[in-house]
Amino acid sequence: MNRGLIILGVLLLMASPIVALYYRIEYYDIFGNLVRIEYPLLPYGFVLAIVAIIVLVLGLVIPKKVETPPTTRLCPQCGRMLTEEARFCPYCGKELG
Ligand SMILES: [Zn+2]
């Protein structure tokens, strides 16, 4: 699960019906006739909804980026594997630089 993608998908899905609304202009021309212009944005709303669903599915399928394991090094005295942050070897007590 990838929370960022899921949130993005939900937002896009919520935005798609708004985009799908008709954009309408009404005005009277110089002769007094009502002129109505409608821009059908419905296809864009559908496209956005499809994109939103794809993003949602990707968010569910793609796993969150796995954390890289902490880098390790070897104790110079006993040769055991230590974490990079260790200041002393927990096995032999050697102080590490
Ligand atoms: Zn050691």
For the entire predicted model, the pTM comes to 0.45
Q: Are residues 73 and 47 in the same domain?
A: no
Please give the C-alpha separations between residue 54 and each of 16, 43, 68, 92, in angstroms, as whole numbers.
13, 17, 28, 54
The residue written with tokens 């599915």 in the block is: 57
| Domain that includes residue 79, residue range | 68-97
Expressed in angstroms and rounded, the spacing between residue 73 Cα and the centre of ligand 1 is 11
Expressed in angstroms and rounded, the spacing between residue 66 Cα and the centre of ligand 1 is 29
Expressed in angstroms and rounded, the spacing between residue 67 Cα and the centre of ligand 1 is 26
Q: Are residues 35 and 75 in the same domain?
A: no
Number of domains making up the chain: 2
Expressed in angstroms and rounded, the spacing between residue 89 Cα and the centre of ligand 1 is 5
Q: Which residues of the chain have pLDDT under 70?
A: 19-20, 22-23, 39-41, 67-70
Can you give the pLDDT at residue 16? 76
Average of per-residue pLDDT values in the chain: 82
Expressed in angstroms and rounded, the spacing between residue 71 Cα and the centre of ligand 1 is 16
